[in-house]
Structure 1
Amino acid sequence: MLFASRQGAITWLRALDLAWAAVSLVLAAAVSTALTPETASAAHLHLDAGSLALFLGVFLATISVFPLFGLYTETALYSRRETLKATIKAVTGVVMALLVAAAVLRPPLATPSFLAAYWFLAAAGGVAVRLVTRRLLFLGEAQGLLRRRTLVVGTGTRAQEIARDMLAHPEHGRRFMGFVADAWETPVSGPQPETFRLVARLDSLSDYLRGHVVDEVVVCLSLEQLCTRATALVSTCEEQGVSVTVVTRLFDLTNPHRRPGGHGGEVAVTISNTLADERERIVKRFLDVTVSLTALVLLSPLLAATWALIRLTSPGPALFAQERVGLGKRIFKFYKFRTMVQNAAAMQEALEAQNEMDGAIFKIKNDPRITPLGRWLRRTSIDELPQLFNVLCGDMSLVGPRPLPLRDVERIEKDWPRRRFGVKPGITCLWQINGRNNTPFERMMELDIEYVDTWSVAMDIRIMLRTIPVVLSMRGAY
């Protein structure tokens, strides 16, 4: 899939809108030249200062105006009528801004035919991009790929209404997994869907979250229960890196005037320790894609040479693939260059007693399974380069907590380190630049949680820059 979530689709829409604005400018200039050949020498992509300022104005206007018309909301993704109206209004707003800029700058490019062509192309392209994205979302959600796996805490009338709404409207992006409660508060009326079942008790929610992939917990309890249960429930979800939305019907009114909330128009509060700032997420993903793609192109000779050396010096494949735990405890295929003998996984059980790391992680400084070439690849960190493919695919980020194997995750005894699963894993992280493998396990987890709590794009850039001298020094790598 091009994107892995509805938020990812919206991120792509922002990028595609800017790309299509550039294409529309070029095509509109060509149309204007064809319709008014007497102005061809002055109009056709003439890069004078006024035209360049006009180009920049188009991008700034697109960035500023499109969000004002709700074009980056789920409604715009799922409602064709709203998409059509909002896109036409937004593009008209951009053209109005261009008219003002043209009156001030007077660039030769800004002819009536150019502006008309730009309006038509930008509007048609904006609608087409959203319809295609909408179709891809429907295909992904029909396969259960893009829906947030959601638990409902409580079994009252309102909790059942929320669950039925999720089942009736899968296009809203939630996959209902079941109820968390000690008993049925209100008998189920009407036909009972297969997923209407109690999957965990209130005091065993932590155990359920530990063993299942859950993206969101919706707490829908009575006010009396909220007073006694809310803090413990929210703390449990926070420990596991799962966002929690608290929904409560404060007023039982027949026809209230209200603004829609997160669930059926009710008052809702969402608490999440994940990366919540949309603009920061967009910039982070942009950095991930551009840096990983550029690095893969520039380092392709090194990647090819490493692949060949591994195949020539030891039997077995050059790439090592392993299941690791990523965002939301989802399993993904993790790639790196093979640095051990082919049957290394089968030999690990016999070496467990020699483990030199405390906590859940397995590491031996002089691991007998490592090949001579593999030891050099580890010292130089070249073995990590295939993870750039994981970043490009969206399973990982350049910066984030290191992805742990299933074996290590199963051995994490405390719950607080599980908050690390609320963000994408990364190639480098805080403990990689603060001692690498010489860092004790608990300190590794503390640094991962510090990253989750203080993340920013500026912090990512600092970590990446500090990673370079650490890798070159080869300290703590084995």
Structure 2
Amino acid sequence: MGEIRDRGGYLAFKTRQRAITWLRSIDLGVAAVSLLVAAKVASTELPAVPPDTALHFDAATAALFLGLFVATASVFPLFALYTETALFLWRQALKASVKAVTAVVLILVVVAAVLNPPLVTPAFLATYWVMACVGGIAARFVTRRLLFLTEAQGIAARRTLIVGTGARAQEIALRMLENPGHGHRFMGFVGLEWEAPVPTPLPERFRLVSGVSDFAAYLREHVVDEVLICLPLTDLCDRATNLVSECEEQGVSVTVVTRLFELANPRHRPGSHGGELVVTITNTLADERELILKRFLDVTVSLAMLVLLSPLLLAVWALVRLTSPGPALFVQERVGLNKRLFKFYKFRTMVQNAEALQAGLECQNEMCGATFKIKNDPRITPIGRLLRKTSIDELPQLFNVLRGEMSLVGPRPLPVRDVIRIEKDWPRRRFGVKPGITCLWQICGRNTIPFERMMELDIEYVDTWSVALDLRILLRTVPVVCSMRGAY
């Protein structure tokens, strides 16, 4: 195996990049093995297939298998599975592996719906998912252990200098010293004096190896793989350009610590703006890979539900039209992502002029805060009360999800009237994500929850969002809807 070597009795990778290249090859190999095992399992459910063609390798199946390899090679990088971070943050790599395989399987389901190959059965999909997850996780575990053995011997550890001696710089240095397996060999600090008190007893390698003025000379005379610039904002402005230029001249990579602001829940990502390198700081959903998966789930699930529930939708549409005058659909402007207005759809459950009548009922509002709710609202029609109790009136919002104005899961979209009445600023963070059909407070009591608690749960969703959380909320929504608790 050209990607690994034996040194000091240990089988080990020469460099991190070779480990990553090795992982790319292993992932395709795992996909192939998982595919064959899943196909063999699925073939047992096809008694009509002759024994000599047990895998039933027809043109549709061949196209599907080729698509699966392409999907694996394309999707896995989107989940950062081929980065140095994934090699060292084991839990993050484990979660990303499961998410990536799940995304590939979802793509497989969509392609299978078009090609309709006989082998793609539930048993095939389940077997492939389990095999690919286990194989991908095992490959990363073994690669990680081999790489750790290498770097523990000092073969591939990156010799790292930190420019700056403040508290943040010392914190990063201590983390390097405490986690040698993460691949950094800390060499010391660049600075004339300590800008913050040093720990006692003084840790190993906590030493000033160079000043800023003789930094270029130090780089010329020593082996340095990476320089980490961690200076106060004022010093960064004055010195960073010269420091980076000196590193560039010596061919040494530079990393600049960008935690310039102390924020409660900062999420950041690198990028470019007008040709300039920038770091974007946000308090909303910043993981583009998971956002892609979230949108994929929104489109596939909403489209499937619209097709499956089309008879029910037509029946309800006719029932609303026959039982009360007016259109079957209620259309209202609601406030969506970044406070953009969009047309919100639901089945009409009130009399035709309900919005005009609301002003006269404001004094009967039973909700604290900005929202308006009356348990026995006189504007609700008899059929509308049933639709609300069963939540069937919300089904037309699947069209909003398909159009990209809403998501399956997210803070409920508020009417303009309610948004205007929000007095505090902190609930407005909910507008940083797409609104949804269901949300955290929908599964925690629905309309029985006070308005401020609703907003707190919306902000909790924004701060802790993940695709896994969306799936949990969707699964918990089903029994809540069936129980009809808190719906009116």
User: TM-score scaled by structure 1?
Assistant: 0.50
Pair member with larger Rg = 2
